[in-house]
Copies of this chain bind each other. A is one copy, B any other.
Amino acid sequence: MTAYAFSLPVRVYYQDTDAGGVVFHANYLSFLERARTEWLRHLGFDLREMAERHDVLFIVREANVRYRRPALLDDLLDVTVKVERLGRAQFTLGQDVLRSQEELVCASINVACVSCGSFKPLRLPQRLYASLATVLEHEDQPKEQV
C-alpha cells in the first residue's frame, strides 16, 4: 500500500448493521471518514493537531454516494481513498468500499478547510496542498510507475 493507493480495512460489527440485516446506509459515511483520517495520518497530518495547532477543521461540503451491494455482519471491507480534484480551499476524493475486489459502495466526497471556531473558509495549509498535489500527480501516472 502506498500513499497513492490508500486502503483501510474495516470490519462490520452489529453496531454498523440495521434490522434489514445489512450495514445501515449512513454508516458507510463513517467508514469513509475513518479511511480519510488514516490516509491523512499516513500523509503526515493528524486531525487533532490540525485543529489545535493550526486552527484547521476539515468539513464535508458534498457527499455523493452510490450503494451497489450491501455489506453484511462480519464482512471485512476495504475502504479506499483517491484524490480526484484539488483546489486551493477544497478537494474532492473518490472513495470506494470493497469486499474482496467487489465494489459495494462508491462515493465522491468534497472536503473543505475552515477555521475551527468560526467555520470561515481557509486555504489548505501549504504543506497539505503540496502533499495532495504529489498524490494526485502520481495517481495520474500509469500504474507501473507507481
Chain A interface residues (CB < 8 Å from chain B): 11, 13-15, 17-22, 24-27, 29-30, 33-34, 37-38, 46-49, 51, 57, 59-67, 70, 72-74, 116-117, 119
Assess the B20–A116 pair: CB atoms within 8 A.
Answer: yes
Query: A25 — which chain B residues lie within 8 A by C-beta?
Result: 29, 33, 59-60, 63
Assess the A18–B20 pair: CB atoms within 8 A.
Answer: no
Given contacts A47-B73, A59-B67, 15 further A-B contacts (CB under 8 A): A11-B38, A13-B33, A13-B37, A14-B19, A14-B20, A15-B26, A15-B33, A17-B19, A20-B51, A21-B116, A26-B29, A62-B64, A63-B63, A64-B65, A70-B119
Given known pairs A20-B57, A21-B19, the reply for A33 and B14 (CB within 8 Å) is yes
Residue of B with least CB distance to A52:
B73
Residue of B with least CB distance to A34:
B13
29 contacts between A and B (CB under 8 A): A11-B38, A13-B33, A13-B34, A13-B37, A14-B18, A14-B20, A14-B47, A15-B24, A15-B26, A15-B34, A18-B18, A19-B21, A19-B72, A19-B73, A20-B51, A20-B57, A25-B33, A25-B63, A26-B26, A26-B29, A26-B30, A46-B74, A47-B73, A49-B74, A62-B67, A63-B64, A63-B67, A64-B64, A64-B65
